[in-house]
């Protein structure tokens, strides 16, 4: 790609909105994932007592166990959210911009 | 009732089990057949490195999970959970959380910008030779640490499972992995990983169902039994994380290390485009997450049904937890099947690592650096094949060299280097316009040297590995003190006996003190250097880049950006 045509695409409003949307979505999801995991680690480091509480009266299961499994499941759900957004919205935008600039 | 069963129970682990030999031979036969088929389709460099870009997102998702779920995670994490309870779970979680990061930050740009390796991406607008040299070294260091850990693990496990001599096990693993990669390239490697992933996920699922059937399919009952057998603390966080900064540091390495593992990153070139690359991470995260959730049940199930004491008697590290549980639930047939799956697991991982290492040598170093990007296809393929054989032999030799050593730290080291050397340069090359050749190169070297250096100076290596003899002496001396102390406190000791014991205790205490002094403390107190090595790598990249402006690289960032988001000009799938 020549630098002129690259320059033109970069200034295309739709390309700019596509790029900034993609960055925002990636950034937000990354921050959520980091919060999830480091929150879990933080609980282990600073509030062991909370994780050691039982989920219900008479049950041996501690809150920590569903939370650990929950972090795994939510991580996967986050990748699902990204896929859903990318497949339905991002790919369409890419297709439109590409068609217009003839890429 | 359950406890009684466990006590009477005996194991055939460690004997040559006909079922596992048969299963393993079937696996070898099938994979060699695939290699023969793949060899006919592996003529060009693109086919050798990337299976011609013709793998689907779903297939690649399975292959990624096959590449990532090592025997260490199958046997090791189940073992950790069965012996340490909740603390083992922390690892199950930690090994998964890097995958969403790979998806959100890396997978699509990586696919759009590169050809076969992540160093293609870093070198996209920077100077080829210095960048490719640094990135190839970063890749090779990561691969070699990982490979050594896998080979030593392979030899030890196979010896435990089949009572096969350590060296013979390494020759078998080495020979097969060279055959897969050398003749079948990425296509054969991919299918070995897919088959292994299906076998492992299927086998683990059956194991979990059999385990749950023993506790009336009730997790309440499973955990109730665990708590009554080992106390409530078994289900609570224990002493694994005592230093929050160290835990944070480990978390950084696990989260961002996955996004810097060369054998994982190169898999994104096997799919036709960024869309399939992104999809493959979704499937991989699902499969790997599902698998780690299974290891939780397997670990607690083994602790409850088989018993911690029995598991640690076979192997002190608890690595045989999943296999003893398999035998308990499904007899020697099922044990044989799962042992063969564990063997296959090792093979698939080392094949992927060997291919990644060979690609760093041939595509990055030979073509990118020595031939300045100018080499014909035939020549590149020849070098790649020589590199494959060379790396395979090196892996076997490293396995023999580190026989009997504690190499668990090497996986940690691989993740530390991946997150500190490979990841920062890769991320910044995609996102930061002002990154320069000097900034990226120095960042890679800084991350690598600081990560390796600090781990060598950490308690894990400096004390546990380098002073293993002294540590053992210290533990023995301390154990003697405890023993004598208890004997003295025991009632019914005659006065003259008591006096003798007290003298003995005094001497033992002096000895213990001396033995403790003989162990030199580690200069670096933390076990995980990630927070420093990764932090410094980013800092160096920023500072050096700001001091050395590279006009051409900044100009090229525009076309890089267009390619990152739109995929215009990206390497397409090979035309068939």
Q: A54 pairs with which residues across the strands?
A: A62
Is residue B458 domain-shared with residue B313, that is, in the same domain? Answer: yes
Residues of chain A contacting residue B289, judged by C-beta atoms under 8 Å apart: 72-73, 75-76
pLDDT tens digit string along B449-458?
999 999 999 8
Least confident residue range of B198-212, B215-229, B559-573: B559-573
pLDDT tens digit string along B232-282?
889 988 867 678 888 888 889 989 999 999 999 999 999 999 999 999 999
User: What is the per-residue pLDDT for B113?
Assistant: 93
Number of other residues whose CB lies within 10 A of the CB of residue B433: 15
User: What is the per-residue pLDDT for B9?
Assistant: 57
Contacts of A35 (CB under 8 A, 6+ apart): none
> What is the average pLDDT across B164-185?
93
Residue B556 near residue A5, CB atoms below 8 Å:
no
Confidence of residue B13 (pLDDT cuts 50, 70, 90): confident
Q: Is the dihedral of CA B349, B351, B354, B358 positive or negative?
A: negative
- Burial category of B573 from C-beta neighbours within 10 Å (exposed 0-12, middle 13-18, buried 19 and up): middle
Is residue B295 domain-shared with residue B423, that is, in the same domain? Answer: yes
Contacts of B395 (CB under 8 A, 6+ apart): B147, B148, B151, B174, B177, B350, B353, B354
Q: From CA B441, how far away is CA B421, in angstroms rounded?
A: 9
Q: To 10 degrees, what angle do helices B321-359 and B128-162 make?
A: 150
Number of domains in chain B: 2
Give residue B498's domain range.
Answer: 478-518
Residue B402 belongs to a domain? yes
The reply to whether A1 touches chain B by the CB within 8 Å rule is yes
The ranges assigned to domains in chain A are 3-101
Instruction: Please give the residue of chain B at the shortest CA–CA distance from A1.
Output: B559
Q: From CA B440, how far away is CA B435, in angstroms rounded?
A: 7
Residue B472 belongs to a domain? no
Least confident residue range of B69-73, B98-102, B106-110: B69-73
Is residue B215 domain-shared with residue B136, that is, in the same domain? Answer: yes
Is residue B399 domain-shared with residue B490, that is, in the same domain? Answer: no
Least confident residue range of B93-107, B256-270, B488-502: B488-502
Pairwise pLDDT comparison (A4 vs B385), residue with the higher score: B385
Instruction: Return the C-alpha torsion angle B91, B95, B97, B98, nearest 10.
Output: 150
Residues of chain B contacting residue A93, judged by C-beta atoms under 8 Å apart: none
Residues of chain B contacting residue A35, judged by C-beta atoms under 8 Å apart: none
Q: Which residue has the tokens 């057949």?
A: B33
Q: From CA B440, how far away is CA B422, in angstroms rounded?
A: 10
The reply to whether A79 touches chain B by the CB within 8 Å rule is yes
Pairwise pLDDT comparison (B549 vs B10), residue with the higher score: B549
> What is the average pLDDT across A37-55?
89
Residue B473 belongs to a domain? no
Nearest to B101 among A30, A41, A60 (CB): A30
Contact B568 A103 (CB under 8 A): yes
Q: Is the dihedral of CA A10, A13, A18, A24 positive or negative?
A: positive
Residue A29 near residue A78, CB atoms below 8 Å:
yes
Q: From CA B291, how far away is CA B12, in angstroms rounded?
A: 26
Give me the CATH number covering residue B439.
1.20.1730.10
The reply to whether A14 touches chain B by the CB within 8 Å rule is no
Is residue B161 domain-shared with residue B150, that is, in the same domain? Answer: yes
Helix (H, G, I), strand (E, B) or coil at B528: coil
Q: Which residue has the tokens 């290891």?
A: B295
* B573 pLDDT more than 60: no
pLDDT tens digit string along B539-554?
999 999 999 999 999 9
- Highest-confidence range of B18-32, B290-304, B463-477, by mean pLDDT? B290-304
Nearest to B293 among A7, A41, A72 (CB): A72
Q: What is the DSSP string of A45-56?
A: HH-HHHHHSBSS
User: What is the per-residue pLDDT for B159?
Assistant: 81
ipTM of the predicted assembly exceeds 0.85: yes
Q: Which of A17, A45, A53 to mutate to test binding with chain B, by most B CBs within 10 Å of its CB?
A: A45
Per DSSP, B527 falls in state: S
Q: A62 pairs with which residues across the strands?
A: A54
> What is the average pLDDT across B168-190?
94
Contact A64 B236 (CB under 8 A): yes
Q: From CA A22, how far away is CA A24, in angstroms rounded?
A: 5
- A35-71 burial code (b ≥16 CB/10 A, e <16): ebbbebbbbbbeebeebbeeeeeeebbbbbbebbbeb
* B390 pLDDT more than 80: yes
Residue A100 near residue A92, CB atoms below 8 Å:
no
Rounded to a whole number of angstroms, the distance from the CA of A32 to the nearest CA of chain B is: 10
Using alpha carbons only, how large is chain B's radius of gyration in Å?
Answer: 25
Residues of chain B contacting residue A42, judged by C-beta atoms under 8 Å apart: 244
Instruction: Please give the residue of chain B at the shortest CA–CA distance from A60.
Output: B224
User: What is the per-residue pLDDT for A73?
Assistant: 97
> What is the average pLDDT across A64-87?
96
Contact A6 B247 (CB under 8 A): no
pLDDT tens digit string along B323-353?
899 999 988 889 888 888 888 888 999 999 9
* B536 pLDDT more than 90: yes
Q: From CA B93, how far away is CA B102, in angstroms rounded?
A: 16
The reply to whether A26 touches chain B by the CB within 8 Å rule is yes
Q: Which two tokens stand for residue A81?
A: 């959210």
Contact A30 B104 (CB under 8 A): yes
Contact B251 A41 (CB under 8 A): yes
User: What is the per-residue pLDDT for B369?
Assistant: 93
Is residue B559 domain-shared with residue B494, that is, in the same domain? Answer: no
Is residue B420 domain-shared with residue B505, that is, in the same domain? Answer: no
Confidence of residue B64 (pLDDT cuts 50, 70, 90): very high
Contacts of B153 (CB under 8 A, 6+ apart): B70, B71, B72, B346, B407
Is residue B342 domain-shared with residue B216, that is, in the same domain? Answer: yes
Confidence of residue B7 (pLDDT cuts 50, 70, 90): very low
Residues of chain A contacting residue B92, judged by C-beta atoms under 8 Å apart: 68, 72
User: What is the per-residue pLDDT for A1?
Assistant: 61
Confidence of residue B2 (pLDDT cuts 50, 70, 90): very low
Confidence of residue B411 (pLDDT cuts 50, 70, 90): confident
Is residue B514 domain-shared with residue B525, that is, in the same domain? Answer: no
> What is the average pLDDT across B360-365?
94
User: What is the per-residue pLDDT for B575?
Assistant: 41
Nearest to A9 among B89, B92, B562 (CB): B562
* B312 pLDDT more than 80: yes
């Amino acid at each position: 790609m020549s630098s002129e045509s690259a320059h033109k695409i970069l200034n295309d409003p739709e390309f700019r909105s596509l790029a900034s949307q993609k960055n925002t979505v990636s950034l937000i999801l990354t921050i959520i994932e980091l919060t999830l995991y480091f929150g879990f680690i933080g609980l282990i480091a600073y509030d062991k007592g909370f994780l050691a509480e039982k989920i219900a009266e008479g049950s041996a299961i501690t809150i920590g166990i569903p939370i650990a499994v929950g972090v795994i499941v939510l991580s996967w759900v986050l990748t699902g959210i990204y896929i859903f957004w990318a497949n339905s919205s991002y790919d369409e935008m890419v297709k439109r911009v590409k068609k217009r600039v003839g890429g | 009732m359950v406890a009684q069963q466990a006590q009477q129970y005996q194991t055939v682990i460690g004997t040559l089990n006909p079922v596992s030999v048969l299963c393993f031979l079937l696996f070898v036969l099938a994979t060699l057949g695939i290699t023969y088929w793949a060899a006919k389709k592996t003529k060009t460099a693109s086919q050798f490195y990337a299976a011609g870009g013709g793998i689907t997102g779903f297939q690649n998702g399975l292959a990624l999970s096959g590449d990532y779920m090592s025997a260490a995670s199958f046997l090791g994490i189940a073992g950790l959970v069965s012996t340490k309870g909740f603390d083992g779970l922390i690892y199950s979680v930690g090994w998964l959380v890097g995958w969403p990061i790979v998806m959100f930050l890396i997978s699509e740009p990586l696919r759009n910008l590169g050809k076969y390796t992540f160093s293609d991406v870093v070198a996209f607008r920077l100077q080829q030779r210095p960048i490719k040299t640094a990135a190839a070294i970063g890749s090779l260091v990561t691969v070699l640490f990982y490979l050594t850990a896998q080979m030593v693990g392979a030899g030890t496990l196979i010896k435990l499972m089949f009572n096969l001599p350590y060296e013979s096990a390494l020759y078998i693993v080495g020979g097969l992995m060279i055959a897969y990669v050398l003749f079948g390239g990425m296509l054969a490697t991919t299918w070995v990983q897919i088959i292994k992933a299906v076998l492992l996920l299927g086998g683990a699922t059956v194991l979990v169902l059999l385990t749950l059937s023993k506790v009336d399919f009730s997790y309440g009952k499973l955990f109730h039994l665990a708590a009554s057998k080992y106390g409530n603390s078994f289900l609570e966080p224990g002493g694994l994380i005592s230093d929050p900064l160290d835990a944070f540091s480990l978390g950084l390495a696990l989260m961002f290390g996955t996004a810097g593992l060369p054998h994982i990153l190169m898999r994104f070139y096997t799919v036709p485009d960024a869309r399939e690359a992104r999809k493959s991470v979704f499937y991989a995260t699902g499969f790997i997450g599902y698998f780690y959730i299974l290891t939780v049940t397997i670990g607690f199930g083994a602790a409850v049904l088989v018993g911690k004491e029995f598991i640690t008697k076979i192997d002190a590290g608890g690595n045989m937890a999943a296999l003893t549980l398999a035998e308990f639930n499904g007899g020697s047939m099922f044990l044989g099947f799962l042992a063969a799956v564990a063997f296959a697991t090792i093979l698939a991982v080392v094949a992927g690592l060997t291919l990644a290492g060979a690609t760093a040598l041939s595509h990055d170093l030979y073509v990118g650096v020595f031939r300045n990007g100018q080499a014909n296809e035939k020549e590149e393929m020849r070098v790649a094949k020589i590199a494959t054989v060379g790396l395979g032999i090196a892996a076997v030799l490293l396995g023999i060299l580190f026989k009997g050593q504690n190499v668990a730290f090497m996986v940690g080291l691989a993740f530390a280097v991946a997150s500190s050397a490979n990841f920062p340069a890769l991320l910044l090359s995609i996102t930061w316009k002002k990154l320069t050749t000097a900034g990226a190169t120095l960042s890679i070297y800084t991350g690598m040297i600081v990560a390796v250096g600090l781990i060598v100076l950490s308690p894990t290596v400096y004390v546990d590995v380098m002073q293993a003899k002294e540590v053992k002496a210290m533990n023995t001396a301390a154990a003697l003190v405890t023993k004598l102390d208890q004997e003295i406190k025991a009632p019914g000791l005659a006065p003259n006996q008591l006096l003798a014991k007290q003298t003995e205790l005094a001497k033992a205490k002096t000895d213990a003190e001396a033995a403790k002094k003989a162990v030199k403390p580690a200069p670096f107190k933390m076990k995980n250097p990630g927070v420093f090595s990764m932090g410094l790598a980013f800092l160096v990249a920023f500072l050096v880049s700001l001091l050395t402006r590279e006009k051409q690289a900044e100009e090229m960032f525009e076309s890089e950006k267009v390619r990152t988001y739109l995929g215009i000009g990206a390497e397409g799938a090979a035309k068939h």
